[in-house]
Amino acid sequence: MPGSHVILIRNQREARRVLEEIGVDPGAYPYLLPKANFYCIKLKDISFQGANIIKQEMLSKGGEAAIPRQALSGEGPGDVLLMGTLKHYRLLLRKLKVQPFGLKKVATEIENILAAIEPKQQIIELPHGKILKLGERTLVMGILNITPDSFSDGGKYLNPDQAVKRAREMVDEGADIIDIGAASSRPDSVIAGEEEEINRLLPVMDRLVAEDIIISIDTFRGRVARAALENGAHIINDIGCLQLDSELLPVLVEKQAPVVLMHNRMQIRSGEPYRDLVADIITELEDAIGRAVDAGLPGEKIIVDPGIGFGKTLGGNRLLLKRLGDFRSLGKPILIGASRKSFIGQTLGLEVNERLEGSLAAVAIAIMNGADIIRVHDVKASKRVATMTDAVMQENG
């Protein structure tokens, strides 16, 4: 009939909206909603016995499972791709929970993934009486580098007066968070010492904490984090994913401070090839999350960042933007920092100060794929893009 068309339904909220538009009896929702969304879930390193059981069970429920050829001949472990609706998964989970070969653990993992991928709102309690609301709209984190050698704006805000002025400008332009970095993380830079980093930070922080600004500190050092948190900072943005300084995690736990865990192989495992880029990053972020929670940091205080520009290839960085939604499986808010980075310059053939349009494209793509926070240099333009993208993604229909 005229007007018939394919409809893309991304989640259960959108599925419910479509049913309401059609005029479906609400009593049918519990039966229809589990069939409305189709999900592919990639399981890693499943034994050949487990893979064969999963395939048989998923097929019997009306779903599908792709397993490696060697699993059929008794070789393994290997990866498994599950394909099905929520209904298929719920039926599968009942069976897996009573199966051997570690499938009870696999069932729990699938349950956690399915629970994590639905959009949700969250409030993170910050030190010093502030809160961070996530999920209502995309938050904008403005970058303030008070360093002489950052790749984009090094040297511009070394003077505390200039730094404070720029922070206020970014807040006026729409920044929800100001991320202050006092030690450059540029690959070829010489990292400032602890004392120098603290001495750069505190004069700027002392003037900003009196204002209604949420302050994030870009540091991987425990001692710097302690000084910052004790002087009014609210969030620690750790580019080392708890790997570069063993003193950081105890400080986070003691202060119960929210942390951004950014994936980064550059300092720890530089040159080590990825077997499966997205899966490897998810695995390493899971490990960092586990260590933080085991040490006493509440899971709801953790934000993840896949680390665009840190130890990834040009294609890898672009793939992370494309596949950002995969990181929803972690069940944590996602921060993305692509602003002005070299992969944009390499893609467009542009120098660092000509990368605005590429950065804004990355912002829009990231938001459409599930980013909760965007970390940017160009706050005014990025805020407008975020507002427009949010409006599109949240539109009814």
* 191-218 burial code (b ≥16 CB/10 A, e <16): bbebeebbebbbebbeebeeeebbbbbb
Catalytically annotated residue among 55, 265, 340, 375: 375
Is 341 noted as a catalytic residue in this protein?
yes
pLDDT (0 to 100) of residue 158: 77
For the four alpha carbons of 214, 379, 285 and 81, in that order, the dihedral sign comes to positive
Single out the catalytic residue among 301, 341, 355, 383: 341
Q: What is the pLDDT of residue 149?
A: 61
For residue 317, the tally of other CB atoms under 10 A from its CB is 24
The answer, yes or no, to whether residue 10 has pLDDT greater than 70, is: yes
**Chain region(s) in the chain for CATH 3.30.1370:** 37-116
List the single range of 171-175, 255-259, 263-267, 322-326 with lowest mean pLDDT.
Answer: 263-267
What's the chain's average pLDDT? 93
CATH 3.30.1370 fits 37-116, yes or no: yes
Q: Which of 339, 321, 279 is nearest to 113 (CA)?
A: 279
Percent of the chain topping pLDDT 70: 95
Overall average pLDDT of the 152-181 stretch? 89
Residue range 221-232: mean pLDDT, rounded: 97
Grouping H, G, I as helix, E, B as strand and the rest as coil, residue 345 is: helix
Can you give the pLDDT at residue 269? 62
Report pLDDT for 270. 61
Q: Sheet holding 373-376: strands in order across?
A: 302-305, 259-262, 235-238, 214-218, 177-181, 139-145, 373-376, 335-336
> What is the per-residue burial (b if ≥16 Cβ within 10 Å, else e) of 157-170?
beebeebbebbbeb
Tens digit of pLDDT for each residue in 234-268?
999 999 999 999 999 999 999 999 999 999 987 65
Q: Would you say the C-alpha torsion 109, 114, 116, 117 has a positive or negative sign?
A: positive
Overall average pLDDT of the 189-211 stretch: 88
Mean pLDDT, residues 203-225 taken together: 94
| Average pLDDT of the residues in 343-350 | 97
Q: For this structure, is 275 an active site residue?
A: no
Q: Classify domain 122-393 at the CATH topology level.
A: TIM Barrel (3.20.20)
pTM here?
0.92
pLDDT at 157: 76
Task: Provide CATH 3.20.20.20 ranges for the chain.
Answer: 122-393
Query: Tens of pLDDT along 21-46?
Result: 999 999 999 999 999 999 999 999 99
